[in-house]
Chains A and B, each alone.
Chain A
Amino acid sequence: MKPVVKQVTLAIMSLAFAGTASATTLTLYSAAPASLAKALARAFSKKTGDHVAVWTSSTGKVMARLAAEANHPHADVVMVADWTAGLELAKDKMVYDYQPESIDKNLFPAMQLKGPFLPYGADTVSMVMNTKALPKGASMPTSWFDLTAPVWKNHLTAPNPLLSGTASDFVIAFVDKYGNKAWQYFSDLKANGTVWPGTNHAALMPVLSGERSGMVECVGHAAVQAKVQGNSIQLIYPKEGTMLIPRPIMIMQSAPDKKLAEQFVNFTMSPAGQKLVAKYNLYPSLNGVAAKPALAKLGTYPVMTVNWDQVAATRASVLAKFRKDILGQ
């Protein structure tokens, strides 16, 4: 009995020390797609030998964690899904200015945006329908506002903008554009039985299974992935315009090793990094790297024009109102 106890004790102690010993690593917090963040981290480690510790969640949770850890920051680099979240962090002086001209000038013109950070890619917010699960008598919608019609009652889902970064930018920009009409729209959707079950994936699942017919404001990469897998999914780009949302990659002011963080950003913005961005169904931002053929070509559908700097100021108040009036939390 004795030697076993000794062995177990030794094993446990070695485990304890293995757990606390930490090499110099880069810590990356990222919103979905989680697989992209992990792929970038892996490719970067392979190239440079530096380890990248990744924590992935939805944008709302990444932002909450950054706020909670303000006293003891852990993240060095942050990638989220919506541009205004980045501007919000910049406003709180948490972002280290890194937008080198040498990278910026090679981006698509639509991606050359002001801000102390770079867009590592972009994604759309459009409508999604399961073509095999449409309600009887329904025809494909062409406008955002079609979805409040009685025929869609209890047939729709939407992502929770408090969790999903792209959904939050959609709601903020939509409210900026339509004002009270936008709020009326959201309460009409709610009165029409629309549910906001969580992240984009949580909202998309009942649509894939046919339990619900469609999803208002679905993020492009999730919809395209589901379509590629063979689900009967159709993306619909409404006539008022689809939302095209740039995604920021930021170096935190608190990062102890800015050089390492800059290297990671440089890698993400390089052709190799951008190819990974494309592989996980986002629009790459570097000129010359093509998006997946499964994504509709930019310019073939109407896009809403949004002044991000202007709408960012309303982010907190719009989301607070949405949480209270629409989600009832």
Chain B
Amino acid sequence: MMGRSLNRLLVFGILGLLVLAPLATIIFEALQPDASHHHGMALLQLGVDQHFIHALLGTAGMAALAVVFALPIGLILALLMFYAPPKFSLVWEGLILIPFLIPPYLTAEAWTLLVGPVGLIEQLIHILGTPLETFLYSLAGMAAVMALHLTPLVYIILRAALQNGDFRLIQAARVHGAGLWRAFRVGVLPLVLPALAAAGLLVFLDTSAEFGVPALLSGYAGVTVLSTSIEAATNVWPVNLPRASAIGLVLCTLGIVAWFFYRPLANENRGQIHQLRYPSRWWSMLPLAAFVLIAMLLPIGAVLAVSFEKAITVGLKFSNFTWHHYHHILSHQSSAFGALETSLELAALVAFGTMVAALLTANIVRRGGRFAAFLDLLATLPMAIPGVVLAVGMILFWNAPWNHLPVFGTTAILGVAYATTTFPFAMRYARAGLAQIPQLLDNASRVHGSGPLRTFMKVHIPIAWPMLIGGATVVFALSMRELVASLMLQPAGVQVISTYIYANFRQGVIGDGMAMSVIGVLSSAFILGVARGLLLRR
């Protein structure tokens, strides 16, 4: 009994600090009385603030356009891979998923290097540079970058829905003389509609919360969005924290509403898996290859090419080739090397700590009850909270006059921020891990005299181990790429990979940043591979 209440206390403390505290301080700050002693003025003023309305429309427009771009492409990819798979379909599936692993700010940077009158595309084929540039620096361009990043997610969700659907319906429709389109409408569309809605909401949620892409592109596009307005009100003198909090609340509400509708639609892939495979078709390769080219090969190619160039405007010539950027990053003295080390250490630490915390939480949640449901809600809530809002909450809470804990202004604050943003993912894996444990084993262990702690360590953890490692790798990868909270919270003398890449790009030191991107991606992939290999060997 002692153990259980300790577990509860610990979990509540952790979630309270990670999730509740920043949210509560934001609400409190937004409702602060203004100079005329009226409460909530910052929030009310937004209603008549033309600039806020513009930013709100910008965010809504960008998110809606991203949905418009990502859903049809994701659907086409899923239909092709299911009904007309190409040869080596597993390889193709891997290629389709890779764009999701590239952080969106990097995709945006890569595309700014690709387009333009002296961009890489113009250098290679001497056309398209300028029209593509006009498109990239627009609301639709920002949405397209997000759509490239999120289409793999849409694909996964729709593919699972198709897999779980009853494939005989479409055959029945065809047998009864329906044309291809009609058969699709009656036999397939109803099956994937809930999945389409879920995917659309997820794309909307992620895009409206995004900071990096609009931070890089919106200045040239003449568009403002909420996430960058919040950052500006917090980080640019003169600071207006009540305004930042009020806009933050609006953005947060947008996210939570989308998430509220998304939650019941998101069913994990637990339906029957058909062994049925449609015969492969060679022509389905063409659209798939087009997607892979635009979403993966071009951006990665741009990053790689520029990481080996002396001057970016000179172009792809042998005389312009250099190892210098890599040399600089891997030399022990450089700030780049420090950033790499900090990122790797932080991500490892957070992966371990967050998985432990999520395991403790999942241990309570799996027993059920109202308290458990509340904890589950709290633990998954960060999915709906944009990183920029979370960062503002963290500043307000950890930097408050009464808060003397040495967290703000130290590297620890980054760990806290990463732990919060990755908690829902850790939680999902921890729950899945514990769900595999039959109640029988619990009982057996208890009957033979083991206490709850011993049962937990000796029975639960060994069984849940692969899922826990899976969760830790996801948390590690997400921590390595986090941008906005790192930018807003990083203390003096500390940089991480994402802020190094971002800051260098903004300062025009592009080659070093691109070399860092390559090294960052490769080193995290390498470490994840080794960790999984070692830890999962049984």
Q: Which residues of A contact B (CB under 8 A)?
A: 1, 4, 8-9, 11-12, 15-16, 19-20, 22, 25, 27-29, 32, 34, 38, 52-56, 60-61, 63-65, 67-69, 71-72, 74-75, 133, 160, 162-163, 195-199, 201-202, 204-206, 208-211, 222, 226, 229-231, 316, 319-320, 324, 328-329
User: B221 to chain A: closest CB distance in Å?
Assistant: 9
Question: CB within 8 A of B492: which of A54, A199, A320?
Answer: A54
- Check: B283 CB closer than 8 A to any chain A CB: no
Asked if A329 and B507 sit within 8 Å, CB to CB, the answer is no
Contact call A27/B493, Cβ cutoff below 8 A: yes
Nearest-neighbour CB distance to chain A for B110, whole angstroms, equals: 15
Could you say which of B313, B395, B409 contacts A208, with CB atoms under 8 Å apart? B313
B506 with A55: CB separation less than 8 A:
no
CA gap between A139 and B538 in the complex, in Å: 75
> Which of B85-93, B187-195, B235-243, B264-272 contacts its partner?
B235-243
Most buried by A among B54, B119, B133, B236: B236
Chain A residues near B395 (CB-CB < 8 A): 68
Query: Which residues does chain A contribute within 8 Å of B506, judged by CB atoms?
Result: 198-199, 201-202
Contact A329–B239 (Cβ < 8 Å): no
Give Cα A71–Cα B401 distance, bound, in whole angstroms: 6
Whether B237 and A205, one on each chain, are in contact in the complex, defined by CB atoms closer than 8 angstroms, is no
Residues in A whose Cβ lies below 8 Å from that of B116: 209-211
B235–A64 CB distance below 8 A: yes
A20-B412, A25-B493 as given contacts; A67 in contact with B349, CB under 8 Å: no
Q: In the bound complex, what is the Cα–Cα distance between A281 and B409 (angstroms)?
A: 31
Residues in chain B near residue A222, CB distance under 8 A: 508
B: contact size bracket? 35 or more
Q: Report the number of A-B residue pairs with Cβ-Cβ less than 8 Å.
A: 134
Question: Is B34's beta carbon under 8 Å from chain A?
Answer: no
Indicate with 1 or 0, residue by residue over B488-527, a CB within 8 angstroms of chain A CB atoms.
Answer: 0011111000000001001110000000000000000000
Q: How far is the CB of B122 from chain A (nearest CB, A)?
A: 10
A29 contacts B492, C-beta separation under 8 Å: yes
State which residues 341-373 of B face A: CB under 8 Å. 345, 348-349, 352
Q: Among the listed B117, B236, B349, B508, which residue makes an inter-chain contact with A60, where contact means beta carbons less than 8 Å apart?
A: B236
Q: B465: which A residues are within 8 A, CB to CB?
A: 1
Q: Which 6 A-B pairs have the closest CB atoms?
A: A53-B493, A197-B219, A63-B237, A55-B492, A53-B492, A71-B401
The digit string for B373-399, where 1 denotes a CB below 8 A from any CB of A, is 000000000000000000000010001
Residues in A neighbouring B235, C-beta threshold 8 A? 61, 64-65
B534 at the interface (CB under 8 A from A): yes
Chain A: minimal CB distance from B160 (Å): 32
- Tell me the complex Cα distance, A103–B393, Å: 44
- Whether a CB of chain A sits under 8 angstroms from the CB of B118 is yes
Q: Which residue of B lies closest to A15 (CB)?
A: B345
A197 and B220 form a contact (CB under 8 A): yes
State the main secondary structure of chain B at its contact with A: loop
CB <8 Å contact, A163 and B236 = yes
Shortest Cβ distance from residue B319 to the other chain A in the assembled complex, whole angstroms: 13
* Chain B neighbourhood of A196, CB < 8 A: 219
* Contact mask for chain B residues 281-317; partner A; CB cutoff 8 A; 1 contact, 0 none: 0000000000000000000000000000001010000
With the chains together, A196 CA to B311 CA distance in Å?
Answer: 25
Task: Known contacts A55-B490, A199-B506; decide if A209 and B117 are in contact (CB<8 Å).
Answer: yes
Residue B436 lies at the interface, judged by CB distance under 8 Å to chain A? no
Contacting residue for A316 out of B238, B409, B537, B538, CB 8 A:
B238
Please encode chain B, from 199 to 239, with 1 for each CB lying within 8 Å of some chain A CB and 0 for all others.
00000000000000000000110101000010010111111
Inter-chain contact B490/A67, CB cutoff 8 Å: no
Residues of B within 8 A of A160 (CB): 219
Q: A68-B239, A328-B51 are in contact. List 14 more A-B contacts (CB 8 A).
A: A15-B348, A19-B345, A19-B411, A22-B410, A28-B492, A34-B507, A64-B238, A64-B239, A69-B399, A160-B219, A201-B507, A209-B117, A209-B313, A210-B118
Closest approach, in angstroms, between the C-beta of B511 and any C-beta of chain A? 11
- Which one, B54, B238, B491, contacts A320 given CB within 8 A? B238
CB pair B399–A68 under 8 Å, yes or no, is yes
B409 touches A202 (CB 8 A): no
Is there an interface contact between B409 and A74, defined as CB atoms closer than 8 Å? yes
A9 and B461 alpha carbons, distance in the complex (Å): 15
Q: How far is the CA of A160 from the CA of B218 in the complex (A)?
A: 13
When C-beta atoms are compared, the residue in chain B nearest to A210 turns out to be B117
Q: Which of B118, B234, B349, B406 contacts A12 (CB 8 A)?
A: B349
Q: Please measure, in the bound complex, the distance between the C-alpha atom of A160 and the C-alpha atom of B395, giving whole angstroms.
A: 24
Instruction: Give the residues in chain A near B133, CB-CB below 8 Å.
Output: 211
- Give min CB distance, A62 to chain B, whole Å: 8
**From B119, B400, B411, B492, contact of A209 by CB (8 A):** B119
Assembly CA distance A198 to B224 (angstroms): 13
Residue of B nearest to A33 (CB): B507
Q: In the complex, what distance in Å separates the CA atom of A11 from the CA atom of B345?
A: 10
Q: Which of B116, B118, B237 gathers most chain A CB within 10 Å?
A: B237
B6 contacts A by Cβ under 8 Å: no
- Interchain residue pairs with CB less than 8 A apart (25): A19-B411, A19-B412, A22-B410, A53-B491, A53-B493, A55-B492, A55-B494, A67-B237, A67-B238, A69-B399, A71-B399, A72-B409, A75-B492, A160-B219, A162-B232, A198-B219, A199-B506, A204-B508, A205-B508, A209-B116, A209-B119, A320-B238, A328-B51, A328-B54, A329-B224
